[in-house]
Structure 1
């Protein structure tokens, strides 16, 4: 980055949409920059309605900013984006179709529920009901895991937990808090994903971290499916990032009053997972390795690099986990790792445009399991400037970092 930024509480931030000079908060600066560019507004590049998980991720970040600053710019932007895809009768456009059995679009669902709670406009509840109904017909593995998409039969991906199950929990908390069947199903989704993807042993040319592989094929039919549980061959940073954010966000959700005894099993499971993964994430960083590799299973290999979206997701999840007391950072290693990584992130991925906005760099465009899931595949995908998956994660990381 080109200048020194002072960290401050969000309570003292200026509310303007395009601040000048640049704000003292990275969270506000990044959010305002996204808004000025028209990112995440429920429309695609050609101006057509689009239901996008990236937009849902940004809306979650803007919601947190609105709640901390009271700046209605953020609330209005969420509403504008949702209104671009939700009709007055509650139908959802933007390319959404329940029978495609995709979990990704459901990431926008929490915004529907949030707007309904704030405005009581019926259409938002109807849209949320439409998304919720998808779970009744969504394809599953024989164990009960939601397929990531219809086109990926019997495959569970870490990404899908953040996309689908956070909405599932948000809906259940808001409208069906006593639905034990739903809470048990949400618990099952997390449990199966964790058990089928956690790295148990080191394999040739792969470093052991004890973290989670990108996904698994329960049918063992994909070229990448390992004989051991059908998991994919590499730990990809952003997939693990989605899962880590799902853990802390779902824990916070079910902890909010009124706390239901029906969520006790889910709460215990998420705490166990978080306390397993958080120290391991922190442990694979150091002064020499201040951030996280794109392909965590092959650190330092030629072609590998520190990627910005996954790192931001980890900073958010680790900081939030410690702040809310879900992980006991007895010796400070976890927060130290988050602070060190955040410093690296702001120094290497944030660029001052000189006009009050910033650019965000270093986010890999995509990561999928529709090829061979190899190291060469992941490292062969280009990075994109101002990719919303990474920029929204950076806003979230900055909110949590500034709250420390």
Structure 2
């Protein structure tokens, strides 16, 4: 049976590539989604007014376009990446797009892998200079006493699952490219990942236990939502966990043997079957708030579900997770089939739209169920527009 071409999903202007599965159509959803996003000018380093903008959603789309380019050889994808990155990096390597190192936010660093990739491809020093700027941020970025990067300066002492994806994929690739023998740097990356799991994983006996990870934690325990034991937030949010699992499988592509790699493997091997088991039995996809399945206001959410499909299939394909009975691949394929049947929207102009993506998910407020739940099913969106998620 034919391989499932890399699947590009939006909804948060994110692009998720599913590497294995079954697909009956000739034209891949990946190509359709990519062409649709490019026609709309999304993920191109510009805001809605055409001003330069460093944005994690753009970096994520560029990552997906790169993988699609490597699979298909379609130069259009590479050219779009180069054009978008050039909108935020000046000829001298200065990072524009309203980026400020002193904000100490991990989110902008998601565009860093694009800079590293373009340096590898072009050897143009400006891309190395831009990447160096992001690396300098990490060198002075505020941390908890355990060494965890704060998600943002405005959220002191807080580690979020999102931040591992935003910061540590770039961090790992930078170290591999320029500091491959830096043992302490590899240890720091693994500590970021492992400590996040340690501080946020559910423990048996808690209400609504599924063994997954809460959205984040506050080391100082001062946030209104911080639990008294470890300071973790009260709910398992599917997209935050999706960011984290994508980070695991992407960082495993980069980590060398002997760097703490076994710790990261152990985490994805622990989480993968639990994510499989947390899927809705009828549809195969995942609830927005995974600790409150079926509760009024909860719903099947598309961006986190896509992230899980990506993470599970890649983990099996790359041998990071053993799937002896095939249940993980079957679960991910079932979810994929539901997503393409229910959440892909053919627009009148021939572009692909996407629906059922959560509008906002943040720990800036109470962090409880009401932050995530909506009184009704999310409005269908006719394009892959950028949606605030912080």
TM over 0.5: yes
CA contact (8 A) 2:286 2:305 kept: yes
Q: Give the whole-Å Cα distance in 2 for the aligned partners of 1:371 and 1:157.
A: 14
Asked if 1:333 is matched to 2:333, the reply is no
CA contact (8 A) 2:190 2:263 kept: yes
Aligned to 2:168: 165
Aligned to 2:366: 372
Match of 2:302 among 299, 303, 308: 308
Match of 1:278 among 272, 279, 303: 272
More helix as a share of residues: 1
Change (3 A) 1:70 1:9: farther
- What's the offset of the Cα at 1:60? 0.5
Asked if 1:317 is matched to 2:318, the reply is no
3-state SS, counterpart of residue 364 of structure 1: coil
3-state SS, counterpart of residue 64 of structure 1: helix
What are the equivalent positions in structure 2 for 1:4-403 lying under 5 Å apart?
Answer: 10=5, 24-204=27-207, 207-254=208-255, 260-261=256-257, 264-380=258-374, 385=381, 386-387=383-384
Aligned to 1:400: none
Q: Give the whole-Å Cα distance in 2 for the aligned partners of 1:249 and 1:94.
A: 26
Q: Give the whole-Å Cα distance in 2 for the aligned partners of 1:231 and 1:286.
A: 25
Q: Give the whole-Å Cα distance in 2 for the aligned partners of 1:348 and 1:335.
A: 20
3-state SS, counterpart of residue 216 of structure 1: strand
3-state SS, counterpart of residue 145 of structure 2: coil
CA offsets, 1:293-345, max 9 Å, x none? 00000011111000000000000000000011110001111111101100111
CA contact (8 A) 1:57 1:389 kept: no
CA offsets, 1:363-402, max 9 Å, x none? 1122100010111111149667234579xxxxxxxxxxxx
CA contact (8 A) 1:7 1:25 kept: no
Question: Where do 5+ consecutive residues of structure 1 fail to align?
Answer: 1-5, 12-21, 255-259, 391-404
RMSD across aligned positions (CA): 1.8
CA contact (8 A) 1:155 1:215 kept: yes
Q: Give the whole-Å Cα distance in 1 for the aligned partners of 2:304 and 2:379.
A: 13
Change (3 A) 1:9 1:304: closer
How many residue pairs were aligned? 366
- What's the offset of the Cα at 1:142? 1.0
Runs of 4 or more above 3 Å deviation: 6-11, 380-384, 386-390
Q: TM-score, normalised by structure 2?
A: 0.90
